[in-house]
Amino acid sequence: MQAIVLALVVAVAGCASSIMQSYVGKDITEAAMDYGPPAGVMDLPDGRRAFMWRMTQGAVMPQTTNYSAVQSGNWVTGSATTYGGGVSTWQCTYTLIGQRNPKGSYTVVDFRKPSLSCE
């Protein structure tokens, strides 16, 4: 469910990086309240912590059919060619970087820009 919500937000806003940038300076719980708990958390060597949300995105490509007809008297003959169609899916990871704050939580100080296909 959280992946669907994140996909809708990304689709509406059009740019995942601008959404992620909006969390910089805020407590990590803001992102968790919007997208649910992160799929992964990793402590970084510099004392910061990475919070990762993963989701699957996809696109449906329509089929196209071209029909070519030839009329000869009362007869019509032709041929149809269908091409394209299918579903493509890919995995996206969205990472916010947090620094420990006095409240015992983490303040978002940075983010990793997602791959181009996830923007």
Q: Starting at the edge strand that comes first in sequence, how are the strands of the sheet with 49-72 ordered?
A: 40-43, 49-72, 75-100, 106-112
Q: Which tokens sit at 75?
A: 């007869």
Residue 7, pLDDT > 70, answer: no
Length of the chain as a residue count: 119
Residue 74 placed within a domain: no
Residue 96 placed within a domain: yes
Nearest CA to 95 out of 49, 47, 33 is that of 49
Average pLDDT of the segment spanning 44-69: 92
3 state SS of 46: coil
Q: How many domains does the chain have?
A: 1
Residue 112 placed within a domain: yes
Q: What domain range is 39 assigned to?
A: 2-61+87-118
3 state SS of 13: helix
Average pLDDT of the segment spanning 79-101: 92
Residue 66 placed within a domain: no
Residue 79 placed within a domain: no
pTM above 0.85?
A: no
